[in-house]
Structure 1
Amino acid sequence: MASLAIETGHQEIRDLERNGQAEKAQWLLNAPAPPSLWQELMDSVRETVLPHRRRFPSVKEKGNLSKIVISVMQAMFPIFCWCRNYNAKKFKNDLLAGLTLASLCIPQSIGYATLAKLDPQYGLYTSVIPPLIYAVMGTSRDIAIGPVAVVSLLLSSMIPKLEDPEANPIAYRNLVLTATFFAGIFQAAFGLFRLGFLVDFLSHAAIVGFVSGAAIVIGLQQMKGLLAITHFTNKTDVISVMEAIWRAVHHSWNPHNFILGCSFLSFILITRFVGKRNRKLFWLPAIAPLISVVLSTLLVYLTRADKHGVMIIKHIKKGLNPSSVHQLQFNSPHIGEVAKIGLVVAVIALTEAIAVGRSFASIKGYHINGNQEMAAMGFMNILGSFSSCYVATGSFSRSAVNFSAGCETAMSNIVMAITVILCLELFTRLLYFTPIAILSAIILSALPGLIDFHEVYNIWKVDKLDFLVCIGAFFGVLFASVEIGLLAAVTISFVKIIIISIRPGAEVLGRLPETDVFCDVDQYPMAVKYPHVLIIRVKSGLLCFANANFVKEKIIKWATEEEEGTKGKSTVQVVILDMSNLMNIDVSGIASLVELHKNLASNGMELAIINPKWQVIHKLRLANFMTKIRGRVFLTVGEAMDACLGDKMAAV
């Protein structure tokens, strides 16, 4: 009687467990319908049009409209947030940082303008309006705005295919300004419509390879200034540039330029080494380029070296940024190509700026708003194109100086811009005798920081496919062109995504001893596999036309191998498919599951599915797949085993 009572008690417990499992299965089967595609699109549009709607107080809550306006203004112009707590101590730090920044910015801007094949004053113009606008709209405290080497190279490599900068410099300049306008439009659109994910198509590995290749190309092109070469190639590939240098060395070059440039390049590099060894001397490498400009200009003026072949800047136009609204070429026959150039430059400039901003924000422990950053960059380039500026973005070298100088807010950009304004108004005539070789030396001194061998090694060590993307971008820029390098990086990245999606992989699961956890038996050799159960988890977020057949064939192969291992005797009774990683499925994916079920059933095996996500279970219900597998859907693998094989198998 006692044993009968115990058996009866156990049976009641098993019945209760089965009833509980059935109830949990109904939670999955009777879930409400997920949001429709139309609802998701409307929610996305609503979030795009009113991204800050939850932060804005209502009139009823606050009592007046002014507070709503203030909230909107603070969201659009972050300067209204940080200026409330601004004080004299912060201004002192920003003033020092801004002046230090200007000492580096002025010679660099002139050099980058020549790299972009523009007159020197356009580099200074670009260091006035964009930093002022960014200070009002940007969210980074440390980023320094102005022209940069990579963007200058992009413009000087792509636009000369439309207009020759030497034969028709005015038309070339107008196309550069028009490309700047389009770059600003794209950047602002990315921010306002929350399309920042488009920038991520250029992966970290692609950027590392692209920037490294661009740095070498930029460095080789500076040989034009160091050797005083008058006629140089417009091509950017290393072979064409080396051929141009080789011809110049054998025919016409001036050793005075080379000696002058190399001397001051050595001086700048030595001061940088000293600054790294002694953090208190951070200002020394920052002002070294300006000291080089002053000393070399004075040297050329006193010795009249320009009469002996030393190339000098000569005239730099005096005065503030002139209006360039009427110079934008919207009726140009090249407008389509210019817009494409603007898009490429916009993405590269945003990628560099956001990477720089995030790196320094993480060090100081504050957050930057990516979409607001894109909008700020966009508006500063749009307005910059109206005031004789070409594409500006965040510079890593100048941002590092800004950070080291102890900047507190974006006020350092305002101080820098005001200093550049004073230079344009008062000191442009003093730069008449500045040797071009010094500008080349300043650009060369900034290039070592662009080539990150340590990061390239890390990429190789961590992910070989990412390394392939990196070297694809590197060699594309180096031996073809800037556009080919970018295209190679994006193409290899897409191929990588396709390979991962087509061959998502699947793993056989086993139970870890003394736990209810099921893990990959290859990763955890101690995991226990059950002889009558094949538990498989798909390692993909999407089961679709690209990978569904591959997953199906792999599961059938594993199930068949389990049978062949017992000399034809079928031991697999249940195939349990863990869908916990699967976020969505398409019609091809459902069809492959139907075929899988039929194939397993014909071999005397059952199919059960585990924890399908909202979209997945909804589509499987609509396709009547749940009826085909007789409702064998469970929340956990353990429940599936209990239900399909009974208590005996679950207790093994």
Structure 2
Amino acid sequence: MNMLVFSGSYVALAVKTGIMTGILSLTEGIAVGRTFASINNYNVDGNKEMMAIGVMNMAGSCASCYVTTGSFSRSAVNYSAGCRTAVSNIVMASAVLVTLLFLMPLFHYTPNVILSAIIITAVAGLIDVRGAAKLWKVDKLDFCACVAAFLGVLLVSVQVGLSIAVGISLFKILLQVTRPNTVVMGLVPGTQSYRSMAQYREAVRVPPFLVVGVESAIYFANSTYLVERIMRYLREEEERAAKANLCGVRCIVLDMSAVTAIDTSGLDALAEMKRVLDKRGIDLVLANPVGSVTERMYNSVVGETFGSDRIFFSVAEAVAAAPYKAQP
């Protein structure tokens, strides 16, 4: 240990490169495993893969090996050759060792294009054009991540392709967290169900109520956006009512059946929005909050702010309990 050097001008670069290489190697190894797992209908445990890759590289570093992970091209060649178990790796390693020790002169004049053709032939069967087309129909960002990863691997390297795909995926996650989906809900005729008016064309508004559904957990990252979005719905509804000579909004019903969690910032945002609406003479009531959300509300000042008479089991119950009559 006294011969190890942890100082110098390249220590920071080595640490940064090591962390990035480790992350990319782990991502590549798990991605390769899950790709072939989906083809052969078996499951891959990401935790076990991480432990295996970590132990493998720790043991390899004792013999000055470079960072090792699951190779996509080598795995494709093995799969095309009919390999099914880990014994194939032992056979392959033995063959490589014999080749390096005794057969290298025979491969000296072998063109690289011949070796490349073996890999390309094996990998070509893994390209799923129909799967990419389905991604385009289902989720455009997933399709962009797929194409970016493909082009990055094809034109630059596996590391660059994976980095781009991971970056796009993280952007998608952040977008979903900070911009959760909210909908204006209406009453489906002949029922007591309130559904999204964008999804159910037959759903109708129920003046003087504005029913808004939140389809995400409420965190510090999206609480401000949700309040602004609800106030925007209120402004648009009042403008629509003014043009149609109808009564304005007197009550906002917040459907929280899809809100799976809420933090302190979310609770504070609800309390602040209620105070603002109270000054404008508009009630704010909550419908169908799940157990964990209700528990946090009553453990905070928000439970006192709303009270038991402002929290209902369903939107229909909230509308029926209002002191003013709904006018569909």
User: Is the structural similarity TM-score above 0.5?
Assistant: yes
In structure 2, give the amino acid aligned to 1:572: V
What does residue 574 of structure 1 align with? 251
Partner SS, residue 576 of structure 1: strand
What does residue 108 of structure 1 align with? none
What does residue 72 of structure 1 align with? none
What does residue 427 of structure 1 align with? 103
Task: Kindly report which structure 2 residues correspond to 1:384-533, keeping only aligned pairs within 5 A, or say none.
Answer: 384-428=60-104, 430-431=106-107, 434-435=108-109, 438-439=111-112, 441-443=114-116, 446=119, 449=123, 454=129, 459-466=135-142, 493-533=169-209
Are 2:272 and 1:604 equivalent residues in the alignment?
no
In structure 2, give the amino acid aligned to 1:552: V
What does residue 304 of structure 2 align with? 627
Shift, 1:493, TM fit = 4.7
What does residue 225 of structure 2 align with? 550
* Inter-CA distance 490–409: structure 2 relative to 1 (3 Å threshold): closer
In structure 1, what is the Cα distance between the partners aligned to 2:82 and 2:161? Answer: 37
What does residue 536 of structure 1 align with? 212
Shift, 1:486, TM fit = 6.8
Partner SS, residue 227 of structure 2: helix
Structure number with greater Rg is 1
Deviations 1:461-494 (A, max 9, x none): 5444445556777888999999887766655554
In structure 1, give the amino acid aligned to 2:28: E
* Inter-CA distance 330–556: structure 2 relative to 1 (3 Å threshold): closer
Check conservation: 1:556, 1:600, Cα contact below 8 A. Answer: no
Shift, 1:508, TM fit = 0.8
In structure 2, what is the Cα distance between the partners aligned to 1:352 and 1:477? Answer: 11
In structure 2, what is the Cα distance between the partners aligned to 1:531 and 1:547? Answer: 28
Partner SS, residue 21 of structure 2: helix
Check conservation: 1:505, 1:551, Cα contact below 8 A. Answer: no
Deviations 1:270-328 (A, max 9, x none): xxxxxxxxxxxxxxxxxxxxxxxxxxxxxxxxxxxxxxxxxxxxxxxxxxxxxxxxx99
* Inter-CA distance 383–371: structure 2 relative to 1 (3 Å threshold): same
In structure 2, what is the Cα distance between the partners aligned to 1:522 and 1:352? Answer: 40
Gaps of 5+ in 1: 1-326
Query: How large is the Cα RMSD of the aligned pairs?
Result: 3.9
Relative contact order: is structure 1 or structure 2 higher (C-alpha 8 Å, sep ≥ 6)? Answer: 1
Check conservation: 1:543, 1:582, Cα contact below 8 A. Answer: no
Gaps of 5+ in 2: none
Shift, 1:538, TM fit = 1.6
Are 2:311 and 1:636 equivalent residues in the alignment?
no
* Inter-CA distance 332–459: structure 2 relative to 1 (3 Å threshold): farther
In structure 1, give the amino acid aligned to 2:321: A
> Could you tell me the TM-score, scaled by structure 2's length?
0.78
Shift, 1:507, TM fit = 0.3
Shift, 1:429, TM fit = 5.0
What does residue 361 of structure 1 align with? 37
Aligned length: 321
Shift, 1:377, TM fit = 1.2
* Inter-CA distance 549–517: structure 2 relative to 1 (3 Å threshold): same
Partner SS, residue 572 of structure 1: coil
In structure 1, what is the Cα distance between the partners aligned to 2:30 and 2:235? Answer: 51
In structure 2, what is the Cα distance between the partners aligned to 1:440 and 1:330? Answer: 43
> Could you tell me the TM-score, scaled by structure 1's length?
0.43
In structure 1, what is the Cα distance between the partners aligned to 2:15 and 2:116? Answer: 28
Check conservation: 2:207, 2:326, Cα contact below 8 A. Answer: no
What does residue 562 of structure 1 align with? 237
Shift, 1:354, TM fit = 1.7
Q: Which structure carries more helix by proportion?
A: 1
Deviations 1:428-485 (A, max 9, x none): 4544xx13x6235423653584895836665555444445556777888999999887
